[in-house]
Amino acid sequence: MKQWKDLYHYLMNQTDRLTEDWYATLEKEDSAGVYASTTAENVQLLKKQYNKLHRYFLKIFLGENQTSTQTFKEWVVDLASDPSYLATPIHEVSRELYRTRGEYLKLVKEFVSLHKDKYSQEDLDQWNQMIIDTMDKVTTVFTEEHSQILARNYQAHREMIYELSAPVIVLNETTGLLPLVGEIDHSRAKFIIEKTLKQCAQKNIDVLFIDLSGVVAIDGEVAHRLFQLHESLGLIGVKTTLSGVRPEVAQTAVQLGLSFDKIPVTSTLSRALKYNPKNLH
C-alpha cells in the first residue's frame, strides 16, 4: 500500500536519529557485555548493528512479508553468535530490543500526527500491532538462537574439561596413573570409564593406579561406576589399585554400605606406587 510506503520512507529517514537517541539513553553503568563498552570502535559497531536492525525491521511496512521472521533470520543468527552478545545477559538484550520497539511506536505516532487528516486511528492501531508482534518474534528468535549457541559452547567446554580431567599418566612402559580431582557426577564417571579404557589400551598399560585424593565426595552410583571401571579394566588385562580415599569419602562409603574389598586400596599414592601387583619394580 502506498500509505504504508510513505510511513516506511519516513521511518527510514529517522534511522540515524533512532540509533543516536537509543544509545544516548542507554544505561551504560548498569549494563553488562556489549552495552557496557565505551571504546569508540565498540560503540560504532553497536550503532551499526542497530542501524541494520532498523533496515530489516522497517521492511514490514512494505507489505512484502507480514510475519517477517525469516527477514530477520540472518541478522538474528549473526547477532546471537557474536561473542560480545554471548557475553551479555539475555535479559539486557531483550530490554534493549523492547526499548527500540518503544521508539518505533513513538515515531509512528509522530508520523500520524504530521498527517492528521490522512490516517485513522485504525491505521495507527494496525501499525502499532505490527510493530509489537514483529519485535516479539525477533526477541523470541534471538533468545532461542542465543540459548542454543550457549548450550553448544557449554557442552564443548564441558567435554574439554572432561578430556583434561581423566588423563592416564604413563609411569613406565606398562604402568599408569589416573589422578581424579573434583566432583565426579554420573556423566563424568561414565566418561572416565570410556576414556580410561581407551587410554589404557592405546598406551599398553598393565597396571593402573587410581588416585582419589582429590575427590571430595562420592555417592553410590559413582562408586558403582568405579567398580565397573575396575572390572572392565580387568577384562582387558589391567590390574588396578585405589589410593588416597579421603576420610569423608570413606565415611560416606560406609554409610552407603559400599565395599571396596574387591579392589586393592592404599591410604596414599606414595604407598600405592610401592605396591606392585605384578612385581614390576
Task: Give tens-digit pLDDT for 107-125.
Answer: 999 999 998 888 888 989 9
100 assigned to some structural domain: yes
- The pLDDT value recorded for residue 215 is 80
- CATH code (residue 252): 3.30.750.24
37-63, pLDDT tens digit by residue? 888 998 999 999 899 889 888 888 886
Residues 7, 146, single domain; the answer is yes
Report the percent of the chain where pLDDT is more than 90. 28
Q: What is the DSSP letter of 206?
A: S
pLDDT band for position 27 (cuts 50, 70, 90): confident
Sign of CA dihedral 250, 255, 261, 263: negative
Same domain, residue pair 120 and 176: no
Q: Report the distance separating Cα 167 and Cα 128, nearest Å.
A: 59
pLDDT of residue 281: 39
Say whether pLDDT at 100 is over 70: yes
Give me the domain span that covers residue 262: 169-274
Whether residue 82 sits in one domain with residue 20:
yes
- Whether 184 is covered by a domain: the verdict is yes
Residues 96 and 209 in one domain: no
User: pLDDT band at residue 96, thresholds of 50, 70 and 90?
Assistant: very high
Residues 31 and 143 in one domain: yes
Q: Measure CA of the first residue to CA of the last residue in the chain; give whole Å.
A: 89
> Which one of 144, 163, 182 terminates a domain?
163
Q: Establish if 280 belongs to a structural domain.
A: no
* Residue 255 placed within a domain: yes
**Could you say which of 163, 181, 202 is where a domain stops?**
163
84 or 223: which leads in pLDDT? 84
Predicted pLDDT at 154: 81
Question: How do residues 215-261 score in pLDDT, each as one tens digit?
Answer: 877 777 777 788 888 889 999 999 998 888 888 777 777 777 777 77
Q: What DSSP letter does each residue of 156-197 carry, written as one string?
A: HHHHHHHHHHS--EE-SSSEEEEEEES---HHHHHHHHHHHH
> Which residues, other chains included, contact 71 with Cβ-Cβ below 8 Å and sequence gap of 6+?
56, 59, 60, 65
Do 66 and 193 lie in one domain? The reply is no
**CATH number of residue 84's parent domain:** 1.10.490.10
Q: Are residues 153 and 216 in the same domain?
A: no
Residue 281 in domain: no
161's CB contacts (< 8 A; 6+ apart) are none
